[in-house]
Every structure is written in structure tokens, then in C-alpha cells.
Amino acid sequence: MISVDLLLSASSFLLALYFYMKKPNAYSSLPLPPGPKGWPVIGNLLDMPTEFEWKTYHEWSKKLGTDILHVSVMGTNIIVLDSPEAVLELMERRSSIYSDRARMPMINELMKWSFNVGFMPYGEYWRKHRRLMHQLLHPTAALRFRPHEIKATHNLLERFLDNPNDPIGNLRYMAGETVLSVAYGIDIKPKEDPYIQTAEQGVHPLVAAAVPGAFLVDMLPWLKYVPEWVPGAGFQKKAKAWGKLAMRMVDMPFEAAKKQIMEGSAKPSFTSFSLERVDEGVKDEAYQEPIIRGSAGTMYAAGSDTTVSAITSCILALLENPEILKKAQAELDSVVTPGHLPDFDDEASLPYITALTMETLRWRDVVPIAIPRYLQVDDEYKGYRLPKGSIVIPNAWAMLHDENVYPDPFTFKPERFLTKDGMIDKSVRDPRHACFGFGRRICPGRYMAFSAVWIALASIVYCFDIKKAVDEHGKEIELKHEYLSALVIFPKPFKCSITPRSPQHVRAIRSAVLEHEFEAN
């Protein structure tokens, strides 16, 4: 028989364990950050914005006088960080607990985007991908890919000569050519390239699905088990189709690059450099084929729409501000040798073009809210309780439109980044503090991305006059500045006039393209 003493001891242990588990933690008595008043059970579900949510979050923050906002949706806590100071403290200084990702069942589990470094959970597998990308994309290493960017830019200029009425289509080809060349060493066809079409088909669903709250299954993960034939489960059919597109986007160029390597015809690229190290037996677990495949696929997905969005927004700004275009052209004319095109060697002598690029990234920031984070433990900030499991969203848009940092923030003004003598003003906060992400999750390809936008803008501005289109009566067609709301914002199609500045500029473009073709052969 079990003794009475043993029973008493066991009971005492279980009772002590119960009270220990019920013991409140150090933060349980603290209030949650301010936020709009919600309803029982559903919280703020009915208040959540369906588009341009970064603006609504900022309006709520201003109304409540806070730079850290709390909303609740069906029991899920969402924390919005509305200032650089809040982001610096939490995502930089406390990055060890703010670097995880939310589960995101729609994207990672149903749409099969778990290969993407940006959506991976924080951990050893993610670190291997991150290490691989850093080794090949850090500032010095990224310089080796600049010839890819220049070639793609020169081809873009020729497309503007031959088809000036499709600026967004031309830019898509340039961005696709750059990424395919850098990531895989693949050359594209002049028209209807299958790799670019595959990238567009694969990425566009992601851009919509990555917006917080776009699909209820991200808030209620058990919905992933609901069969697609059940009423209201249309997301299952979408995810199935989108997943096939994603896998095709990742596998098709990677297999093509491997084939070229085997045949000995491969051009230098992220994939070729990485696979060569695998063959050399480099003792680094980052150099494994699945990690190389996922990292290249991440570059392929991330580098297309983002670059196009930034450059298209700059074109919109130049259409509204012809005096800025003239200033930029005057600087380029004073630096670039006649008969040639802008080059990275000219960068130090072109501060206005650098300021133009910086303002482009700030004015209509491509990713207004970074991909949400997942808080791994309970935390405290400014006397507020931040519960474990919260979704944490940094509002980059609010930071890049803070009137205290950037006066008159909604005006396109490159001069804000220049000193009185026309040099880059280092006392003004560089927009790259917010537009490429934060902390350990900052974009590893940010150096290459900035240089790709810089050389494209310098070349377009140098070679072309950009004006508003006119109607049949010769009257200028005013721009609406309409954007698609998604993880990556994108201007809706618009009309404009893009014409070469002179026959000399046309000859320079044709000559540069022919030179690339000669080098390739």
C-alpha cells in the first residue's frame, strides 16, 4: 500500500507545481500598449484595414499619442512599431527575441514558399541561408555583379528606344534580366522570356498573400485542414495553384543553371559560385544544394517587383517635377563623357543622382511594412507588456514620412539629402535605415539593390526626356498616382512620353548594346 506520508509528499509537490505555474510573470501586471477599442472575442477584427494598412496604423498611433500600438484579432496580439526609436530598441538591441517569423500557414505551408529565406523561422536552417547570402552579397562581394546590372540597364535603354509606350513592361524585363543573370547566369530572350513570365506568375500571388490579415488561415491556422470543397475555403484552391507556380519559379532556372555548369557553358553567378564551392568540398554547411536553391530562389523572387516599383515611382516623381529632371541631367552632362553612358566609376561625382535614388526609396517606399516578426517571449517596452506570441510589425512607411526627420515628407525633394555645396548630407537620416528591413532580418541583397536602382536611374535620366503624355487635343494628361496595395506597393499603369534627348544618346545606347553582344560571343 502507498503510505500516507508518500501521498502527502506527492500532493504537496503537485500543489507547489500548480502555484508555480499559476505564478504571474514579471510583466503580467503591466498594461498592453494603446490601441483602438475592440469587441469581445473578435477584438479589432472589424477595424482592421484591408489596404494601405500602414497609413491606418500611423493614424491610430498619432491619435493615441504612441509609437507602439496594440491591436487584437481573434486572440492574436499585433504590435505595430511606428518610430525608428522603437524599432532600434526592439528589433536591433533585442534582436535575439524579435527575429523569428510568424507561422504564416498560407504562404509557408499551403503556397510552398518555405524555401524563401525571408519567411523562414529564426533558427539554424535560416542562419545557413543567411550566411551563404552574406558571403556572396556583402558590399565587396556584390561589386562582382555590377557588370550584370550595367548590361541589363543598357538593354533597358534600348527597349525604351524601340518601345517607349510600355515603361513598366520594359522595367520588368530589366529587373528580371538582372536577377536571372546575377542569381543563375541565365541570359533572357528579348521578348516573352519564359523565365521572366514564370517569375511574374510566381511572385504576384505572394505579394498579395504576405499582407497581414489577407487570409484568415494565418490568424486561425487550423483552417489549413479545411477541405477546398467546403464553402468559404476558396483559399485552398488558390494556394494549391499558387504553390505550383512557386515551385516552377524556383526549380526551372536552378535546373537550367546546373545544366550549364555541367556543360561547361555557365556564366559567373550566385549559383555557379556556390555550387563550385560544394564541388571543392568547402567545409561550411551553408554550401548545400537545397540551401543554394532556396537562396537563389529568394533573390529571384525579391529582386523583381521591388526594383520595378522603385524606378516607376521615380518616373512618376520626375513627371510631376521637371525641374528635378533638368538638375539631374545637368549634373550627368557635366560628368559623363559624350558618346558614353553613366558608369559606377562616375558615382562619386554624381551626388545629385545618389540623392535622387535615396529620395526615390524614401518617397514611395517599396515595402511600407516589413514582413511581420514573431515575439518569442514576454517582453516590456516603455512600461507596456508585449505578450509572447505577438505579431510585431515595423511601420517603415511611418518612419520614412516622419515630418520631424524629413520635413514636408510627401514632397519629392532630392535636395533634402544634400548640403548647401551639393554633397551628400550625412546629418540627414539615410532612408536605407528603414527601406531594407531591420536587425538580423535586414535584406542581404540591399547593396546590390541600391546599385541596380542607382545605375538604372542615372542611365534613364541621362538618355531620355520624360514628360507627361498629351491627349488628342494636345492637353497634358494628369497623373492619378494610384497604387496597388500589397506587401510590395506598385504603381498602376500610366501614360507618359519618354524620348531620347539627342541622336548622340541613341548612338551611345546602340553602341553599348552591340558591345555587350560582341563580348558575349
Q: Is 443 known as a binding-site position?
A: yes
What are the backbone angles phi and psi of residue 79, rounded to the nearest 5°?
-110, 125
To which residue does cell 520631424 refer? Answer: 404
To which residue does cell 525633394 refer? Answer: 413
Helices (H), 51-103: 53-64, 84-87, 95-98
Cα 224 to Cα 216: distance, rounded to the nearest angstrom: 10
Q: Cell triple for residue 313?
A: 515611382
Q: Cell triple for residue 15?
A: 500543489
Strand segments, DSSP code E, in 36-113 are: 68-73, 76-81, 100-101
Cα 206 to Cα 117: distance, rounded to the nearest angstrom: 14
Distance set, CA 309 to CA 286, 325, 328, 457 (Å): 31, 19, 20, 13
Cα 356 to Cα 310: distance, rounded to the nearest angstrom: 11
Tell me, what amino acid is at 161? L
The answer to whether 118 and 371 are in contact (CB under 8 A) is: yes
What are the backbone angles phi and psi of residue 71, rounded to the nearest 5°?
-130, 155
Cα 383 to Cα 367: distance, rounded to the nearest angstrom: 30
418 DSSP assignment: B
Annotated binding site for heme: 443
Annotated binding site: 443
